[in-house]
Amino acid sequence: MMLTACDHIAEDERLIYEAMITDMSPDNGQEEDEAEVTKRVVLLEDFTGQNCTNCPKATEIIEQLQEACGDVLVAVSLHGGPLSFAGSARAVGLKTATADEYYNYWHFEYQPIGLVNRHGAVDYQMWATAVKEELTKPTPLRLEGSAVLADNVITIQMNATGIKGNTTGKLQVWLLEDGIKAVQRMPEGPANQEYIHNHVFRTAVNGTWGEDFSISEGETKQQTMTQAFDTRWNSNKLSIVAFVYNDSGVQQVAKFEVKV
């Protein structure tokens, strides 16, 4: 009797409200721990493709998440894998060899799929769950930066501050572009020739897997790097994503616009 009684959940009981971001600041007057206060920014790597019919659904999830999370979520669309499109004489393709290499490295088996702070493959229907979990974790460092485009060169200035323990890993810097109009297969109906692709991965500024990075608690580091501007990019829609990762996943992320 009990087995059959519990299999139905009434419509008004299906949803449980849980805010995406909970206020983590102490309210008892105690001094705040900087590691507790520094926001953990979450990196969502969306492995997508213009031939992937379900990928627009994943993009919708990203939009919802960005609306709920604000700047503590950084999403990157990596066009790689079997459903990505390299382009043709008539159509713009967003596939890159680097994104393809990432796709193969992670041994994904279908698309859309993603990584949330690099803890393994996460189906797009589970991104909200994974992002929520990552947001609750503290971060060991603060990461900031700025970027300027001048004379066809993008100059990127990175600032990192260690706030808890010692962190070693890799610093990875990527260039993204928003607002690209290019064809996209849709879940239903014909392909959309006017589809707007956002946060599209364009290139890895400091190599496919980044460069060695380490920082101690209290230490501050600055680093400058450059990236040649490709005239196929829209200079007004570029941004930089920088993150530090190691075997324990992504430790911190920063995103900032490329100023012209």
Partner 1 sequence: MTKRTLLYLIVCVCFLPGMAWERKGVTFSGSIQSDMLVPFRDNGTGAEKTGNFLTNTYADLLMQSQYINAGARLEFLEYPLPGFEKDFKGWGVPHFWMNGRVGKVELTAGTFYEQFGSGFILRTYEERSLGIDNSLLGARVVVKPFKGITIKALSGVQRRYWEWNESLISGADAEIGLGEYIPSFQKSGTNITLGGSWVNKYEWSEEKIYISPLYRLRIPKFVNAWDARINFSHGPWNVLGEYAQKSDDPSLANQYIYKKGSAVMLTGSYSGKSLSVLLQAKRSENMSFKSTNEVSKAIGISSSINHLPAFTQDQTYALAALYPYATQLADGEWAYQAEVGYNFKRKTWLGGRYGMNLKANLSYVRAIDRQFYDGNDLVQKTNGYTSKFFKWGDQTYYRSIDATLTRKFSKAFKLSLMYVNQRYNQLAVEGHGGMVHSNIFIADGKCQFSPKVTLRCELQYLTTKQDQGDWAYGLLELSLAPHWMVTVSDMWNCGETKLHYYQGLVTYNIRQHRIQAGYGRTRAGYNCSGGVCRYVPASTGFTISYNYSF
Q: Which residue in the set 24, 92, 121, 186 belongs to the binding site for partner 1 (CB under 8 A)?
A: 121
Phi, psi of 70 (to 5 degrees): 70, -140
159 closest CA partner among 222, 245, 77, 249:
222
Radius of gyration of the chain (CA): 20
Q: How far is the CB of 252 from partner 1 (least distance, A)?
A: 21
Closer to partner 1 by Cβ: residue 134 or 177? 134
- Which of 42, 76, 94, 122 contacts partner 1 by CB under 8 A? 122
Q: Does 125 sit near partner 1 (CB under 8 A)?
A: yes
Rounded to whole angstroms, what are the CA distances from 34 to 41, 71, 124, 131, 141? Answer: 15, 19, 32, 22, 10
Tell me which residue has tokens 């993150």: 243
- Report the candidate in 210, 199, 208 with the shortest Cα–Cα distance to residue 245: 210
Question: Which residue from 24, 35, 92, 128 is in contact with partner 1, where contact means CB under 8 A?
Answer: 128
**Contact call for residue 26 and partner 1 (CB under 8 A):** no
Residue 43: name the closest of 251, 257, 256 by CA: 251
Which one of residues 41, 42, 58, 65 is an interface residue with partner 1 (CB under 8 A)?
65
How far, in Å, CA of 233 to CA of 147, rounded?
15
Residue 23 touches partner 1, criterion: CB under 8 A: no
| Residues 80-119, mask of contacts with partner 1 (x by CB under 8 A) | --xx-----------------------x-xxx--------
Q: Which of residues 163-202 bind partner 1 (CB under 8 A)?
A: none
Q: Mark the segment that binds partner 1 (CB under 8 A) among 127-135, 155-163, 197-205, 242-250.
A: 127-135
Is 81:47 a contact under the CB 8 Å cutoff? yes
Q: Which stretch binds partner 1 (CB under 8 A): 11-19, 194-202, 217-225, 250-258?
A: 11-19
- Distance spanning both ends of the chain, measured CA to CA: 69
Candidates 5-13, 174-182, 209-217, 229-237: pick the segment binding partner 1 (CB under 8 A). 5-13
**CA proximity to 240, closest of 206, 215, 216, 208:** 206
Cβ distance 43 to 117 under 8 Å? yes
**Residue nearer to partner 1 on the CB measure, 7 or 151:** 7
Beta bridge partners of 176: 201, 239
Cβ at position 112, least distance to partner 1 in Å: 10
The footprint of partner 1 (CB under 8 A) covers: 3-4, 6-9, 11-20, 51-54, 64-65, 67-69, 82-83, 107, 109-111, 120-123, 125-126, 128-129, 131-132
